Every structure is written in C-alpha cells, then in structure tokens.
Structure 1
Amino acid sequence: MAVYFECFTRTTMPRQELFDKSLSIDAHASSMADSGEQAIGGVTSGQISLGEQVTWRARHFGIPVRMTSEISELEPAVSFTDQQLRGPFKKFHHVHEFYDSADATIMVDKIHFEAPLGPLGWLVERLVLGWYMPRLIRARNAYLVGTTAL
C-alpha cells in the first residue's frame, strides 16, 4: 500500500532562484493559501535548511491536519528531501530535484506516500489521495514559477 508519483515543472527561472524559493516557508504557505496552511512550529518563516523541521497546520477536505516534516537531505541548487516525522500519513517522502536544460530549469518532484489505516487507507489512496496530491504539488509549483518576488 503506497502511492508514488512524479511532477515535472519547466521554467525560465534560474535554478538557484527556484531552489531557494522551494525551501521558503513563506512561499510554501502562500502557495497553499486555499487550505489555510500555516507554519506553527520549528522554522516558521524564511528558508528552511538541512536538519531543520517545520510543523504545518492546514485544512484539507474540511479536516484539520498537522504535519511535522524535516529536511533530511540537501545538496545546494541540486536537490533536497523532506519527510514527515509526525502527521496524517503512515509515510511521506518528497525528493525535489533541479536540472538545467538548454533554455530552462526543470524541477522534478518525486513523492512517495502511504496512508494509515490498512485497507481503508489503501482505499483512500486510490479514490482520493492519488489524484489530490499530484494536483496539490502542481498548484504549488505553478505558484513558485509564476511569482517573481515574494
């Protein structure tokens, strides 16, 4: 029982700028305004770094959610990984990779998550989270590349 998906985002934004924006707590909160996502613990503004944690509070499907994640790997301007330490998922692991192409920067999100609750979780993964999570990541990425300044 697990879901894996990748999202590819192409932009003319320089790789370093997109990398930095992707680590911005403020940019993430703004990109998730529809769910009222707020950083309420750990690093709550500015840029998060290797080994640091953030606790988010949000509302998805009308349900209040809290999730604490940590930046567990970071290679500047190349990649970073965040993973859930506490929260609604049995497992949540998100690798962000950044590449230069001839005329653009490519950001690749590789996400692996697993819902709790055994067979019920499997059903929720297939019926809801399997389409909702990629949509959420694409919306976040569109916000990041569509904004020139925070």
Structure 2
Amino acid sequence: MAVLVEVVTLVSAPPDVVFDLELDVDVHSASLSGSGETATTSTGRRTLGLGDEVTLTSRHGGLSWRLTSRVTAYDRPVRFVDEQVRGPFRAMHHEHLFAALPGGRTRMTDRFTVTAPAGVLGDLVARVVLAPYVRRLLRQRAAHIRRVAEGR
C-alpha cells in the first residue's frame, strides 16, 4: 500500500528560482548534511534535467542508504517528478509542484509517495515510521531551499 506525504512551503522568490534550486544536487546534499548525504549524477552535471539520474547515498537511523532516482517529468518552472530506479523501496514517486503567488512568491509542494517492501509489515512500518521521518526530511529540505532562495 502506497503512503503519501505532502509538504507545502511558501517561498519569497519566483518559481523559476525555486524550481532550479530543487534540481541542484549540491543544494540537495547541503539541505540534508546531517545525514552525510552525497549525490552522484548520471551526467556529471550538478543540475538535473529530464531523463537524468541521481544516486543519493546517506545514513538514516544508523543505516547506510543508497537510492537512485530518475527525473521522469519536467515542465519548468511548474513541475517535475523523480522516481526510484533502484533503492530500498518497492516504489517511490516524488512530485514537485511550483505555483506562482502574488508578490513574486512561490507555493512549493512536495508530494512524496512510497511503497515499502515486505507486504503488510512493510505497509505498517511505512505508515508509522517512514512517513513521519520523510515528512521531517522534506520540511528540513524545504526550509533550506527557502533560505537559499530568499537569500539571493
């Protein structure tokens, strides 16, 4: 069973700025520096585009994690999607939405859907442990994006 985590953040910067920051793997790594996260892209470029893959390596809950995702949809500066290609989940779909607001602001929405392995037990762990943890990480990442975008 898929679990959806949604986080909405208001940013005092235009959508194109926020969109580009979300696709910058160095900004991504910096936003989760406490987990020792590193990012390696399939192209060697530090900004992702349609079809690009990124492999994230980090430590969470005392365990090492490795996840490779691909950008499967790209409509700058409105929306992009990345989905797990290889990693710990049965499936992972992360939709990023950017809506222009008055005053040059942006409503940034993260919709993160994950399906855990291990059947019913995995579903329970996804709802009780994984969803709250992912929500915290998404909020932490969004706060970092907001600081960087608003500091420009």
TM-score for both structures, normalised by structure 1? 0.94
Cα distance between partner residues in 2 of 1:43 and 1:54: 9
Aligned-pair CA distance for 1:130: 1.7
Q: Which residue of 2 is the match for residue 64 of structure 1?
A: 64
Aligned-pair CA distance for 1:11: 1.1
Q: CA 1:135 to 1:85, structure 2 compared with 1: closer, same or farther past 3 Å?
A: same
Q: Which residue of 2 is the match for residue 14 of structure 1?
A: 14
SS at match of 1:72: strand
Cα distance between partner residues in 1 of 2:128 and 2:100: 35
Contact 2:41–2:52 (CA under 8 A) maintained in structure 1: no
Q: Superposition pairs for residues 16-35 of structure 1, below 5 Å? A: 16-35=16-35
Contact 2:93–2:114 (CA under 8 A) maintained in structure 1: yes
Q: Superposition pairs for residues 73-84 of structure 1, below 5 Å? A: 73-84=73-84
| Identity value in percent | 38
SS at match of 1:51: coil
Q: 103-112 or 39-48, which moves further after superposition?
A: 39-48
Q: Which residue of 2 is the match for residue 116 of structure 1?
A: 117
- The aligned length equals 149
Cα distance between partner residues in 2 of 1:43 and 1:34: 26
SS at match of 2:102: coil
Q: Which residue of 2 is the match for residue 87 of structure 1?
A: 87
Gaps of 5+ in 2: none
Cα distance between partner residues in 2 of 1:58 and 1:42: 18
Aligned-pair CA distance for 1:72: 0.3
Aligned-pair CA distance for 1:41: 4.9
TM-score for both structures, normalised by structure 2? 0.93
Q: CA 1:47 to 1:28, structure 2 compared with 1: closer, same or farther past 3 Å?
A: same
- RMSD over aligned CA atoms reads 1.3
Q: 16-25 or 140-149, which moves further after superposition?
A: 140-149
